[in-house]
Amino acid sequence: MPTEVCAEMVANVIQVAVTPDSAVAQGDTLLVLESMKMEIPVLAETGGRVAEVRVHEGDVVQEGDVLVVLA
């Protein structure tokens, strides 16, 4: 069952650390967001494989937007 990793706040995507088909372990950094001059790493809650990356560096995301889908 796929796991969707969502944004918890409005933020800018400043780094995407994974690509589709990358293997990730629990706690790995998927991407880094910036909000109010703070860098916020988005971590994998479970291990798996990256099925989709739905954002690019420079994108602005809203609370609840799907960032990455893990399979």
According to DSSP, the residues that pair with 59 across neighbouring strands are: none
pLDDT digit string (tens) for 2-29?
999 999 999 999 999 999 999 999 999 9
Listed residue (40, 17, 19) closest to 30, CA to CA: 17
Task: Give the three-class secondary structure for 40.
Answer: strand
pLDDT digit string (tens) for 28-66?
999 999 999 999 999 999 999 999 999 999 999 999 999
Q: Which CATH number fits domain 3-70: 2.30.290.10, 2.60.120.700, 2.40.50.100, 2.40.40.20?
A: 2.40.50.100
Domain residue ranges of the chain, discontinuous segments joined by +: 3-70
Task: Give the three-class secondary structure for 42.
Answer: strand
User: How high is the pLDDT of residue 51?
Assistant: 98
Q: Transcribe 1-69 into DSSP letters.
A: --EEEE-SSSEEEEEE---TT-EE-TT-EEEEEEETTEEEEEE-SS-EEEEEE---TT-EE-TT-EEEE
